[in-house]
Chain A
Amino acid sequence: MFKVSSNPHIRSKDTTARIMQYVVIALLPTTVFGVFHFGLHALLQVLITVATTVLTEYIYDRCMHKKISIGDFSAVVTGLLLALNLPPSAPLWIGVIGGVFAIIVVKMLFGGLGQNFMNPALGARCFLIISFTSIMTNFDCDAYTGATPLAAIKTGESAPDLLDMIIGRTAGTIGETSMIALLIGAVFLLLMKVIDLRVPGTYILSFVIFIILFSGHGLDINYILSQLAGGGLMLGAFFMATDYVTRPVTKNGQYVFGMFLGIMTGIFRIFGPSAEGVSYAIILGNLLVPLIEQFTKPTAFGKKKVKKEAV
């Protein structure tokens, strides 16, 4: 017989778990590159951080008598992103503390996936940077010693070779160094329609315009490319600013959000005391999302915009 049910009748196959799995797959190239580049300790760091986030979410759900939510893979993505944001030489307990903080404080206390007002991985990264500044900004490791490209540019030293920066043979966090590996993942996500170019496109574009205007280097193509390839801009723009939960839902809001991130990143990098500012820029942007959505609410079809009457 006919089965009677209310709409919707046609469902997309994209579940939360599936989307999160795509993100994990897209992050694999840069993870593999990071492990290959920085050695076994990086692999251990990634594994332990991911295990921590998943286990923490499981224990939290268990203790609070909630449905076990680790099946949606979001904890895996959080752990992976957090690990990719850690310096390769950081001790393993850093990943554990960061993972617990990301899941419990930033995500679960606010109601779990979909309710968190801030990207959990970035929240944890900022928590770690403020708490353990010396560990989190020490990028020396067995494979590579020296300042990160951005720090070298900032202090006026000669920046590493541009090709090295694009391939990723520089100092940095585990997952941020290789622009090529990150772009492969980003293209995969774009092709699978998991993300679109609205946020990352406006982010990178406004950032480039900002540094052309204010960095004092003008249209120096070398400088612009090294700013794009160095630091966490690619990782942040394609994988963290595009987080469904913490970006605006309105289309215009996403453009505003991307522009805000670009300008803030530029301000942090050029005028701030430290060389990097992507994570702080994205977190600030996350906090402004409700406001941005309020201002960019689209009008429903057929409705005229209400003009304010003159008093």
Chain B
Amino acid sequence: MSDRKDEAKQSSMEVFFNGLVKENPTFVLTLGMCPTLAVTTSAINGLGMGLTTTAVLVLSNAIISLLRYIIPNRVRIPAFIVIVASFVTMVELLLEGFIPSLYAALGLYIPLIVVNCIILGRAESFASKNSVIPSIFDGLGMGLGFTVALTAIGMVREVLGAGEIFGVPVINKALGGISSLLGRQEPIEYIPISIFVLAPGAFFVLAALTALQNRVKRKMQERGQNVDKIQSGCNSDCASCSDSGCAHRFVDVNAASGSVANAKNDSL
């Protein structure tokens, strides 16, 4: 119980930025890789997928947080899945009704949001342990972090693989401008590197952006800014924690005293 009171001290903004930057679900936690790699062929698809997931995440986090004392611990996973699945069904029907083009582009990956590990992961490690307001902000932060990541990946892939951003052929326009400045009759045409809109390109871009993110993070650390993760909503010492379902246990459970988790908490 004392943990939950400690959690309340975290401000909502801190939780929000935690998901957006420090624990970005794609670049830091590397969760939800299936939609990340599959739907980011263009910026608009990435944005649509990200916003859809955000909506589901906020709603499911709120409901799961409200029900956290009612759901028995042993059947919590099926309970979470039922809640998430209902919201996904709602979102799917809404998309089909109002944005059919996005619905067609995302296709199978909308129902698959049910098993997106970001949503289940946040339910398990944050919403089921915190009160409603922080849970909503956590969902918002994580969802927007996911959206930003997906849109960024989609933009890079679209620019390199098709020469466009959000469907606007920016590179050819720029090249056209340059060639008319140079006085060339025929504008220089951009030949797209089509591997970037195919599957391998997703891996290249994800790896490159993650590396970039790590570099920025290291620079921030050198300047003395605090970039520690807020250990996914639990502030306690893992070795004496009673939560047997927590993923962090796999890291620290057999470590000697002064384990990673403890050291992290001291620095916070």
Residues of A within 8 A of B (CB): 97, 105, 127, 130-133, 135
Contacts and interface: CB of A to CB of B under 8 A. Distances in A.
Contacts of A97: 193
A130 B193 CA distance: 9
A130 B199 CA distance: 11
A105 B200 contact: no
B204 A130 contact: no
Interface of B: 191, 193-196, 198, 200, 204
B193 A131 contact: yes
Given A130-B194, A131-B196, 11 more contacts: A97-B193, A105-B204, A127-B195, A130-B198, A130-B200, A131-B193, A131-B195, A132-B191, A132-B193, A132-B194, A133-B194
A133 B194 CA distance: 9
Nearest to B207: A109
Which of A97, A105, A130, A131 lies at the interface centre, i.e. has the most chain B CB atoms within 10 A of its CB?
A131
A64 to B, nearest CB: 12
Contacts of B193: 97, 131-132
A133 B198 CA distance: 13
Contacts of B191: 132, 135
Nearest to B204: A105
Which of A127, A130, A132, A135 lies at the interface centre, i.e. has the most chain B CB atoms within 10 A of its CB?
A130
Ordered nearest first, which 8 A-B pairs have the shortest CB separation? A131-B195, A131-B193, A130-B195, A131-B194, A127-B195, A130-B198, A132-B191, A130-B194
A127 B200 CA distance: 9
A130 B194 CA distance: 7
A132 B204 CA distance: 17
A127 B203 CA distance: 13
A133 B195 CA distance: 10
A307 B266 CA distance: 52
Contacts of B200: 130
Contacts of B194: 130-133
A202 to B, nearest CB: 30
A283 to B, nearest CB: 12
Contacts of A131: 193-196
B200 to A, nearest CB: 7
A133 B193 CA distance: 10
A135 B196 CA distance: 17
Contacts of A133: 194
Nearest to B191: A132
A105 B200 CA distance: 12
A131 B198 CA distance: 9
A131 B204 CA distance: 13
Contacts of B204: 105
A109 to B, nearest CB: 9
9 contacts: A127-B195, A130-B198, A130-B200, A131-B194, A132-B191, A132-B193, A132-B194, A133-B194, A135-B191
A133 B191 CA distance: 11
A127 B194 CA distance: 10
A309 B193 CA distance: 55
Contacts of A127: 195
